[in-house]
Every structure is written in C-alpha cells, then in structure tokens.
Structure 1
C-alpha cells in the first residue's frame, strides 16, 4: 500500500478524519499478551512509523 501511495496510484479519501490514536491489537484475554505479542506490537509500531514518515517526506 505504501508503494501505491508514493506512486500516486492510491489516494487518501478520509484524511479529514485522521486521528493519532495509535496501534490497536486485539487479544482474547490478558494472558494472550505475551512477550512475543509485545515484541510484535513494538516492531509493527516502528515499521508503521517508518512508512508514514517516508510517505510524508515523499509527499512534501
């Protein structure tokens, strides 16, 4: 998706409704939030931040 955004093949249609709420992950219960799940969350957060910042930089 980020490539499509960078190349102009995809456009944002709900940008007025953008929020800064973060990343949500759904687990069946608190016991499911293992160190591996937390590591996955942290990795996804990092990758998403990189993609968003590169998209912002390429748009400006």
Structure 2
C-alpha cells in the first residue's frame, strides 16, 4: 500500500458520500427543472385558451 489505510478509507468514504448524496440531489433538481416548463404551459393554456375561445365565439 502506498498511502496510509486510514487516509484511504477517508477518501473512499468521501467518494461514497458524494456519490450517494450529491448525485441524487442533482438528478432530482434536473427532473424538477424539466417539470416546470410543463406546468407553465398548462397555466398558460388555462389562462389563454378560454380568452381565445370567447374571442373566436364572438366572431
């Protein structure tokens, strides 16, 4: 072994901690950011579509 075994364990535990906490958080953040535009589109449709329908119905 080149390094101190305690230092190696500390590095391994840091790698595992990063991979099991930060990576899932980044994935969840990415998924949530993909959902937001859909919600914006839905609210846009809810707000704009009735107005467009009433304008078209008047013509």
TM-score (norm 2): 0.42
Query: Would you tell me which structure has more helix in proportion to its own residues?
Result: 2
Highest RCO, 1 vs 2 (Cα 8 Å, sep ≥ 6) = 1
The structure with the larger Rg is 2
